Amino acid sequence: MSLSELVMSLELGLIYGIVGMGIYLTFRIIDFPDLTCDGSFVLGAAISSILIKAGVDPFLSLVFALIGGALAGALTGILNSFFKVTDLLAGILVAFMLYSINLHVMQGTPNISLLMSPTIFVTNNLVVLGGIAIILIAAFSFLLNTDIGLSIRAVGQNKRLCMNGGVNVKWMVILGVAMGNALIAMGGALFSQQQGFTDISAGIGTIIAGFAAVIIGERILPFRSIWIKLLSCIVGSIVYRIVTSLALHAEFLNLKSYDFNLIAGLLIIIIMAMPGGRKKC
């Protein structure tokens, strides 16, 4: 593996680490198996790209992507909390609808090029992505340690006890899913700017990449502090990207580029099969 490929793995690791943070919020914090992520990832990318093409500042476009993802997640939470749709089905329905919504956002075109447009990556990509990751870890660690954040975390542990304690469980679930999808959409926006394009199919496999970041990170940094849990998603994502890249470049394995999904799936299975690796998976 060359130096440029290693740098690319680190960049993608940081981007999908942010996605992993979002999946950690839904799957681990509020115990909500959310499948909206494939759609919200593309939604964030589409919003950021179309705003940049319209002349909006690239950094400001990230904020709008964050908001768009939060709205998508909130819709999933509302379907589950108020319309009694099961969590899995609610995520599938919203992701299904987001395909059309994303095409509307992209003005009917399946892909948007940003090669001639300004992006946030004007200097060292790793420095920019690392700085954004640190800011997001700090911000969401703070949010999850506020009264509302602690309520969200409590709901994930014991909904019935929270209801007896006067916590509005429905709105805490909605808020938690919204926060998770906001991070996933942010990852999509960063991905589109880093790659220089947005494609309607870019979200395929998002949940696997994010889930891999979560479970690998938990094995590497098995600590209970919330900020370390979020940091572990970044670390896990970087390790996941490097390991899969090394496997693809191992000549004795004779693997092709289209074997990536096979390697990723096997890696996740191995991690889950390890002692302690199946916790709440």
Q: Compute, in degrees rounded to 10, the torsion defined by CA atoms 111, 115, 118, 121.
A: 100
* Residue 260 burial (C-beta neighbours within 10 Å; 0-12, 13-18, 19+): middle
Report the pLDDT value the prediction gives residue 277, as an integer from 0 to 100.
55
CATH classification number, 3-273, choose in 3.50.50, 1.10.3470, 1.20.272, 1.20.1730: 1.10.3470
Give 114-139 pLDDT, tens digit per residue.
Answer: 999 999 998 899 999 999 999 999 99
pLDDT band at 259 (very low <50, low <70, confident <90, very high): confident
Secondary structure (DSSP) of 166-190: T--HHHHHHHHHHHHHHHHHHHHHH
Give 144-157 pLDDT, tens digit per residue.
Answer: 999 999 999 999 99
Q: What is the pTM of this model?
A: 0.94
Stretch 71-93: mean pLDDT, rounded?
A: 97
Domain residue extents for the chain: 3-273
Report the pLDDT value the prediction gives residue 251, as an integer from 0 to 100.
65
